[in-house]
Chains A and B, each alone.
Chain A
Amino acid sequence: MTSHLSAESSTSKTFFGFWVYLMTDCILFATLFATYAVLRHNTFGGPGGQELFSLPFVLAETLILLTSSFTSGLGTIAARSFNKKQTLIWFGITFALGAAFLALELNEFHHLASEGNSWQVSGFLSAFFTLVGTHGLHITSGLIWMAILLVYVVRRGLDATISKRLSLLGMFWHFLDIVWIFIFTIVYLMGALGA
Chain B
Amino acid sequence: MNRLISAAQNKPLLSYVTGFVLSLALTLESYYLVVNHVFSTSLLIGSILLLAVVQLCVQLVFFLDLDKEARPRWNLVMLSFAVLVVLIIVLGSLWIMYHLDYSMNPTQTNTYILQDEGIQQ
Contacts and interface: CB of A to CB of B under 8 A. Distances in A.
A154 interface: no
Given A20-B78, A55-B31, A27 B59 contact: no
Interface residues on A, range: 35 or more
B79 interface: yes
Interface in A26-62: 26-27, 30-31, 33-35, 37-38, 55, 59, 62
Contact of A19 (B10, B37, B48, B78): B78
Interface of A: 16, 19-20, 23-24, 26-27, 30-31, 33-35, 37-38, 55, 59, 62-63, 66-67, 69-70, 73-74, 77, 80, 171, 174, 177-178, 181-182, 184-186, 189-190, 192-195
21 contacts: A20-B78, A23-B79, A34-B92, A37-B93, A62-B27, A62-B31, A70-B63, A77-B12, A77-B16, A174-B63, A177-B59, A178-B56, A181-B56, A182-B52, A184-B27, A185-B48, A186-B52, A189-B30, A189-B48, A193-B41, A195-B41
